[in-house]
């Protein structure tokens, strides 16, 4: 196959930051995706509708005029979130979900929730107002091995949330394990999951074997090969519970190439191209369109996009770094070749 045209896709999990980094990264998302779910883990966190709307304006200002892009905003759920704010968010056409970060789980998660049971009244309100809850599914217990944190979260926290709030729509974000895939598959129709390119492409050797490679460090951390194979199987299965969410999470290269580097892979520069390569290698290019363009909007109860994008089979080399004027962000696959390119 030399060309592939699909309905314009959306990215259901994206970090774009603010200021100069936002200006650097947003054009890459906007040229391929019609919409993206924007993560609220700024400093300070986006906890109110007013803040989300102001942030949305900042994003729109940074989008090139030649493209049409709709940022779908989310609010950061904290112990101080009020039911009134949930009601307001549900009434806003621009706010589409709340994000739950267990406190300390990842980048800018210090305002996250320390005691998940204590926010059950907020989950009840989300359920009542039919606002999806997007979950960073990892426990933060220092005694829990970092490779087990997603599985333990499912066993000790998520299973209980799902049974306590049967009508609450939830997205288990960036699933990384066989156990998470099985959990989502066997849960009811309200439970879905996003899958990132890095978790589909790599196992944990990429971070550690033959040298330490900080640009592959993200959270949840990339796992063993058998988990990767389970994620591939889920992504190409045609099961509408699994859809595209890059979790593209740009950090300055200097903050990753250091003694205690930040978590996050920048993949927005070539997101759809990366997924195309993954699906092609799995002999499942015919399953890409539904994963990238149909199942996400169906879950969020938004219309599917009407436009199209065409990918061409062309080899191109990913730049070593993106950005200028003091901004340097190392992308996923820096300096490597990719085999698909958006026209």
- Catalytic positions are 247
Q: How far is the CB of 221 from ligand DOR (least distance, A)?
A: 8
Distance CA 305, CA 316 (A): 28
Give the contacts of 13 (CB within 8 A, at least 6 positions apart).
37, 39, 134, 171, 173, 174, 194, 196, 245, 246, 247
- Report residue 169: phi and psi, to 5°: -80, 130
Distance CA 273, CA 6 (A): 12
Q: Does 218 bind ligand DOR (CB under 6 A)?
A: yes
Q: Which of 207, 263, 302, 321 binds ligand DOR (CB under 6 A)?
A: 263
Given the complex with ligand DOR, which of 164 and 255 has the nearer CB atom?
255
- Total residues contacting ligand DOR by CB under 6 A comes to 10
Q: Does 11 bind Zn ion (CB under 5 A)?
A: no
State both tokens at 132. 């999806």
Q: How far is the CB of 136 from ligand DOR (least distance, A)?
A: 5
Given the complex with ligand DOR, which of 245 and 296 has the nearer CB atom?
245
Q: How far is the CB of 190 from Zn ion (least distance, A)?
A: 21
Q: Does 247 bind Zn ion (CB under 5 A)?
A: yes
Give how far Cα 145 sits from Cα of 114, 139, 150, 220, 285, Å: 18, 10, 10, 12, 36
Distance CA 287, CA 311 (A): 15
Q: Does 10 bind Zn ion (CB under 5 A)?
A: no
Contact 47, 81 (CB under 8 A): yes
Q: Does 29 bind ligand DOR (CB under 6 A)?
A: no
Interaction partner, residue 237 (ligand DOR, Zn ion, none; CB < 5-8 Å by kind): none
- Of residues 34 through 73, those in contact with ligand DOR by CB under 6 A are 41
Give the H or E element holding residue 26: helix 19-32
Given the complex with ligand DOR, which of 284 and 334 has the nearer CB atom?
334
Residues facing 102 on adjacent strands: 113
Instruction: Catalog residues that contact ligand DOR under the rule CB under 6 A.
Output: 15, 41, 106-107, 136, 218-219, 249, 263-264
Instruction: Catalog residues that contact Zn ion under the rule CB under 5 A.
Output: 247
């Amino acid at each position: 196959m030399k060309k592939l045209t699909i309905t314009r896709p959306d990215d259901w999990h994206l970090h774009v930051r603010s200021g100069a980094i936002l200006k650097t990264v947003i054009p890459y998302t906007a040229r391929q995706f019609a919409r993206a779910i924007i993560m609220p883990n700024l400093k300070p966190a986006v906890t109110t509708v007013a803040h989300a709307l102001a942030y949305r304006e900042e994003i729109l200002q940074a989008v090139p005029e030649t493209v049409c892009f709709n940022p779908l905003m989310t609010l950061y759920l904290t112990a101080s979130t009020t039911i009134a704010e949930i009601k307001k968010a549900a009434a806003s056409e621009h706010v589409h979900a709340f994000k739950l970060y267990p406190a300390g789980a990842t980048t800018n998660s210090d305002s996250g929730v320390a005691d998940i049971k204590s926010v059950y009244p907020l989950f009840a309100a989300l359920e009542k107002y039919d606002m999806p809850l997007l979950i960073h599914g990892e426990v933060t217990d220092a005694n829990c091995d970092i490779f087990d944190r997603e599985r333990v979260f499912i066993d000790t926290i998520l299973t209980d949330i799902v049974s306590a709030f049967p009508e609450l729509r939830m997205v288990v974000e960036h699933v990384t394990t066989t156990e998470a895939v099985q959990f989502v598959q066997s849960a009811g129709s309200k439970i879905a999951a996003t899958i990132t390119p890095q978790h589909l492409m790599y196992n944990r050797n990429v971070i550690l074997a033959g040298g330490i490679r900080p640009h592959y460090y993200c959270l949840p951390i990339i796992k063993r090969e058998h988990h990767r194979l389970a994620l591939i199987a889920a992504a190409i299965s045609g099961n509408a519970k699994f859809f595209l969410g890059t979790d593209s999470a740009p950090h300055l290269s200097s903050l990753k190439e250091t003694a205690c580097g930040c978590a996050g892979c920048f993949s927005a520069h070539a997101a759809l191209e990366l997924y195309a390569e993954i699906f092609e290698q799995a002999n499942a290019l015919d399953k890409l369109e539904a994963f990238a363009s149909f199942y996400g909007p169906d879950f969020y109860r938004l219309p599917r996009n009407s436009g199209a994008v065409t990918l061409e089979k062309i080899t191109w080399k990913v730049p070593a770094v993106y950005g200028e004027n003091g901004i340097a962000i190392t992308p996923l696959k820096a300096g490597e070749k990719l085999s698909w390119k958006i026209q």
